[in-house]
A = this chain, B = another copy of it.
């Protein structure tokens, strides 16, 4: 080992103290507020007149498990592409997501399912908590390698709260539809992370440039993440939709969209590549843009062709973004986006929101029949026209961008506090400062 790097102990907030504080706080709040809901409480469930088969569990748990795999396997390994940051990518994903699951159960509970001073939990709150954790991990992608675990936990503390509020404004106040979260998850997570990364801009980051790339096997580990995200994305978009045709249609649309973004990613990657060669960065990321872009509209009557077209467009934009826009983002806009979340979540998220505007605006009683009640209840009840729903959808996008930008700015200021664990410019993208085991790291 090339000499154990010294860390100025100073008056830093130690990771252990922060973990214990956060866990203590959420545990107390759980004790006071969190209770089993009607479907998980023994007395309440058996007090009702149900068959076991009616329990929400059987309709949502398989989808939940797929989402859970995406959050931990998918995001964790996708970020393990860095040659010397695999422990941190996978490990901090664990830490951040575990905390976010607890914290968002509380925040979302207060906002969405607070009855008689109690938060009622079940499989739907698990799905929503995982969605929020995924959002935090999207933002993590922008600052990957340049932030310590204490900083990241503070980021999660803030972001989970803002995520909950933004989602509440969109879904509950504005009546916006966004099942798969093109706005609430992808757009929010991306621009929160990008603005935060802007505030934390490091002009001397080239000191760590030699560690910024991948090695052969780290690229293969990253592909584990990509593939798990890709195969389970249909479950992600459909996990919270209405049961029956709603989940079924959402799955189908997402599936088609992903095949198209895969084909367009290969087409564009080869087109812009040296001698027609492909780039693993594109394949690891842009193939997934098809899942992001139909996040809002996949529960709607998008049509299979619409799903293909949307996926194709998203894969194209995303691949071109990696090739041409990421360098500009750093050089002109001083946003250092380690994983390129602007290309995978940012632009496809906005496209997805706009697609939602379009498809909502085209909704007719004829196309949805009695299903209009499930997809657009406000239109079915005559409270809104389709056009008006479309306007609300568009307004939801602006609200999201505003919350994300302001939140990311605040987050950046918070993470600049001097008592935190930001790595020096010369030690970015480096596991060794956070992880023991010099021998194994020296082998890499």
Please list the residues of chain A having a beta carbon within 8 angstroms of any beta carbon in chain B: 4, 7, 9, 14-16, 19-20, 22-23, 26-27, 30-31, 34-36, 39-47, 50-59, 61-62, 65-66, 68-69, 72-73, 76-77, 80, 86-87, 90-91, 94-95, 98-99, 101-102, 121-123, 126, 149, 213-221, 223-224, 227-228, 230-232, 235, 242-249, 251-252, 255-256, 258-260, 262-264, 266-268, 270-271, 273-280, 283, 287, 301, 303-305, 308-309, 312, 366-375, 433-437, 439-441, 443-444
**B216 contacts A73, CB within 8 Å?**
no
- A215 touching B248 by the CB < 8 A rule? no
Query: In this complex, what residue of B is CB-closest to A281?
Result: B437
Give Cα A122–Cα B253 distance, bound, in whole angstroms.
10
Complex Cα distance A184/B435, Å? 35
CB pairs A–B below 8 angstroms (17 shown): A15-B276, A16-B267, A22-B263, A31-B305, A35-B303, A41-B245, A42-B374, A43-B369, A47-B369, A65-B232, A73-B228, A73-B231, A76-B223, A76-B227, A77-B224, A94-B266, A278-B435
Please determine whether B370 and A248 come into contact, CB atoms closer than 8 angstroms: no
Across the interface, which residues of B come within 8 angstroms of A267, CB to CB? 15-16, 19-20, 23
Asked if A264 and B220 make an inter-chain contact with CB atoms under 8 angstroms apart, the answer reads no
A53 with B308: CB separation less than 8 A:
no
Contacts of A102 in B (CB 8 A): 256, 259-260, 263, 308
Contact B23 A371 (CB under 8 A): no
Q: Which residues of B contact A59 (CB under 8 A)?
A: 52-53, 58
Contact B72 A367 (CB under 8 A): no
In angstroms, how far is the closest chain B Cβ from the Cβ of A103? Answer: 10
Find out whether the CB atom of A266 lies under 8 angstroms from the CB atom of B42. no
For the complex of A and B, the 3 pairs showing the least CB-CB separation, nearest first, are A42-B371, A43-B369, A52-B244
Q: Which residue of B lies closest to A24 (CB)?
A: B312
Q: What is the distance, in angstroms, from A33's C-beta to the closest C-beta of chain B?
A: 9
Complex formed: what's the CA distance from A102 to B261 in Å?
A: 12
Report the separation of the CA atoms of residues A213 and B91 in the bound assembly, to the nearest whole angstrom. Answer: 19
Taking the closest CB of chain B, its distance from the CB of A118, in whole angstroms, is 11
Residues from chain B with a CB closer than 8 A to the CB of A369 are: 42-44, 46-47
**In the complex, are the beta carbons of A304 and B35 less than 8 A apart?**
yes
Q: Return chain B residues, CB-CB under 8 Å to A91.
A: 223, 278, 280, 283
| Cβ B308 vs Cβ A27 within 8 A | yes
A52 surroundings in chain B (CB, below 8 A): 59, 242-245
Q: Is the CB of A41 within 8 A of B249?
A: yes
The CB with the most chain B CB atoms within 10 A, among A228, A436, A444, is that of A436
